[in-house]
Amino acid sequence: MDLDLVRESIGPLLLGTIRGTIPLTAFSFVGGMVLAVLVALARLSAVAPLRWLAQGYVSIIRGTPLLVQLFLIFYALPSLGITIDPFPSAVVAFSLNVGGYASEIVRAAILSIPRGQWEAAETIGYGRALALRRVILPQAARVAVPPLSNTFISLVKDTSLASAILVTELLRKAQEIAAPTFEFLTLYSLAAVIYWVLCLVLSIGQGFLERRLGRHLAPQVAKVEKVRQEMA
């Protein structure tokens, strides 16, 4: 380990993280979640073609490698006359990818809410949309936090693949510095540590979010949760 190189590299690597990795993750996750909710609702809809469309989309996303999805959007679309810059290309690809995976989480979370909740909402005069918004989704959100956190944390590391389509994020910065110096071990190790710290921060955030969303639970449920957390 060359300590001088570590000191010199930290700055550019953090810059790559702040300018590349973090915005790439944030935009893609937001875009992906909007898609996920829409696709989940389409899959639960009474309109058959909508269901098929959503199923087809999820199947394609889950059935093809993320790197291939990135390459298709970046390298193949130009032959159809659509040329998108590296960063937006990556955001589009990652949003589509997160949308496919997260839609299944959202769908399962909605289905996990007992039917009685729908009926209760109906008795106080809520229509389907209102029931979904005020009764079902808030409860489903709590269920979805742990699996969605998984998706989010995976996405942080998946953004490293964008280095292959010329997006200057953390990994590409590391490669840039390593190229003239040949210090790959040092630079990749540093990048790994930065990814890890990012994911640690997110895991802590997940804990807070779970406690916050769980604050309206009945006392005995909260107790069971508490015991469970101690066991884990």
Partner 1 sequence: MSRVHKTAGTLAIASLTLALAACGGGSDGDDAASDVIRVGTEGTYSPFTFHDTAAGNELTGYDVEVIEAVAAELGREVEFSETQWDAIFAGLEASRFDVIANQVTVNPERQEKYDFTEPYTVSTGVAVLPTGSDITSVADLAGLTSAQSATSNWAAVARESGAEVEAVEGFTQAVTLLKQGRVDVTLNDNLAVLDYLNTSGDTDVEIAFEVGEPSEQAFALRKDSPLTAEIDGALQTLRENGTLAEISERWFGEDVSG
Specify the stretch interacting with partner 1 by CB under 8 A; choose among 1-9, 25-33, 146-154, 172-180: 172-180
In single-letter form, the type of residue at position 161 comes to: L
Output the CA angle 73-68-154, nearest 5 degrees: 100
- Answer for which of 179, 193, 197, 224 binds partner 1 (CB under 8 A) is 179
Residue with tokens 């998946």: 158
- 48 vs 232, beta carbon nearer partner 1: 232
Query: How far apart (Å, rounded) are the C-alpha atoms in residues 71 and 59?
Result: 18
- Answer for which of 176, 192, 209, 222 binds partner 1 (CB under 8 A) is 176
- 80 vs 129, beta carbon nearer partner 1: 80
- Answer for which of 56, 78, 114, 207 binds partner 1 (CB under 8 A) is 78
- 176 vs 210, beta carbon nearer partner 1: 176
The verdict on 4 binding partner 1 (CB under 8 A) reads no
- Report, in Å, the least distance between residue 94 CB and partner 1: 20
Which one, of 154, 29, 18, 174, lies nearest residue 91 by Cα?
29
- 148 vs 191, beta carbon nearer partner 1: 191
Which one, of 107, 126, 105, lies nearest residue 44 by Cα?
107
- 52 vs 75, beta carbon nearer partner 1: 75
Which one, of 23, 201, 35, lies nearest residue 105 by Cα?
35
Query: How far apart (Å, rounded) are the C-alpha atoms in residues 80 and 225?
Result: 52
Give me the residues that bind partner 1 (CB under 8 A), please.
Answer: 75, 78, 83, 164, 166, 172, 175-176, 178-180, 182, 184-185, 230-231
